[in-house]
Each structure stands twice: as structure tokens, then as C-alpha cells.
């Protein structure tokens, strides 16, 4: 899809970042996308998109943990 792995979820001007969430068994469960202001957005099933300040807000839940990030 044109993304390359990156080491940080910090905002970097000029890059669009995504984060892939997975369970402890490494099964992908969710993807979040970083917005131009540095916050993150997620689609929660059939519900509306939400914005969250960090990736950790969704961690430790049904979405698993952020396992990989790409730019």
C-alpha cells in the first residue's frame, strides 16, 4: 500500500502515519491513521470515526496493542 515501517508514533511533518493493532497472538484487529494535527483517528466498527490523542487510548482492549507503525 506504499507504507514503510517507522519507529515512532510521534508526529512528523510531511508524513501520513498509520498504526496496526494486533492481539497477543499477532492477529491484526484494527488500524488507526494520524491526522495532520498529530491526533489519531479510528473507525470503530459500524460507529462513527473517533479522534484520540494517542495510540495508547485504544490499547489493552478489544483492539489489542499497537504492534507496527508505517509512514
pLDDT in tens, 13-50: 988 899 988 887 778 888 899 999 999 999 877 888 88
| Cell numbers describing residue 6 | 517507522
H or E segment and range at residue 28: strand 28-34
Instruction: Give me the pLDDT at residue 41, please.
Output: 94
Distance CA 34, CA 22 (A): 17
The model's pTM? 0.78
Domain that holds residue 56: 5-70
Bridge-based pairing of strands 5-6 and 49-52 is: unpaired
Amino acid at each position: 500500500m506504499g507504507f514503510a515501517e517507522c519507529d515512532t508514533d510521534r508526529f512528523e511533518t510531511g508524513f501520513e502515519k498509520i498504526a496496526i493493532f494486533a492481539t497477543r497472538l499477532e492477529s491484526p484487529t484494527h488500524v488507526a491513521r494520524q491526522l495532520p494535527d498529530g491526533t489519531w483517528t479510528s473507525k470503530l466498527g459500524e460507529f462513527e470515526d473517533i479522534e484520540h490523542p494517542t495510540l495508547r487510548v485504544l490499547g489493552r482492549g478489544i483492539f489489542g496493542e499497537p504492534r507496527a507503525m508505517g509512514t
